[in-house]
Amino acid sequence: MYLKKLEIYGFKSFADKVELEFNGGIAAVVGPNGCGKSNIADAIRWVLGEQSIKNLRGNKMEDVIFAGTSTRKALGVASVIITFDNSDGTLPIDYEEVAIGRKLYRSGESEYTINGTPCRLKDINDLLYDTGIGKDGYSIIGQGQVEKLINSRPEDRREIFDEATGISKYKYKKMETLKR
Ligand code: ATP
Ligand code: MG
């Protein structure tokens, strides 16, 4: 499976519709400070279901919608669609291409879609569970995260390894069983 396409409209600094295509190799995004490189990573996190605005570097969820500039009006909606090539069947769904979408209106109304069909956030979480690409997977390493890993306490670092190797879910299940 690989990231095939990212469509961004009205998300943070992306006032115009932008389509980024990837071909399965390595892609690098370069540009001057403040041009929107990290906003692309934020868009990926967001569309994969991120609920913490702090992780998206904002104060309230509305901050992900294009806020306008001195020459441009603010927009009323942010929309991101991420398309994965699923021809190897990594995602447990019978499609060669899987497009996950998320929309947020200024009114607070929001919408998630899988291949254009409205769904719940839970459906997206279920689809990505254990693939390593969910919002809590380690497919996105943010600025400062490596430093944090190096400087963290051994107990906390272990948690990260447990998560990355898929051990946490067994620990969680064991904890749940012992509670009963
Ligand atoms: P650096 O090289 O410093 O890491 P970068 O390319 O990663 O920079 P970003 O952090 O992605 O830059 O983009 C920051 C820009 O996005 C700022 O100019 C900020 O004003 C703009 N921005 C963030 N949220 C919004 C929003 N809701 N509406 C309009 N612009 C926004
Ligand atoms: Mg940045």
The pLDDT tens digits for 99-150 are: 999 999 999 999 999 999 999 999 999 899 778 787 777 788 887 888 888 8
Residue 83: CB atoms within 10 Å? 19
Q: Interhelix angle for 168-179 vs 154-165, to 10°?
A: 100
Residue nearest to atom 20 of ligand 1 (CA): 13
pTM of the prediction? 0.88
One domain for residues 116 and 177: no
Ligand 1 atom with the shortest distance to the CA of 64: 27
Report the pLDDT value the prediction gives residue 5, as an integer from 0 to 100.
Answer: 98
Residue nearest to atom 21 of ligand 1 (CA): 13
One domain for residues 130 and 160: no
33 lines ligand 1 (CB under 6 A): yes
One domain for residues 134 and 157: no
- Compute the distance between CA of residue 82 and CA of residue 134 in angstroms, rounded to an integer: 12
One domain for residues 101 and 148: no
Ligand 2 centre distance from Cα of residue 81 (Å): 21
Instruction: Please report the ipTM that was assigned to this predicted complex.
Output: 0.98
Domain span at 89: 2-139
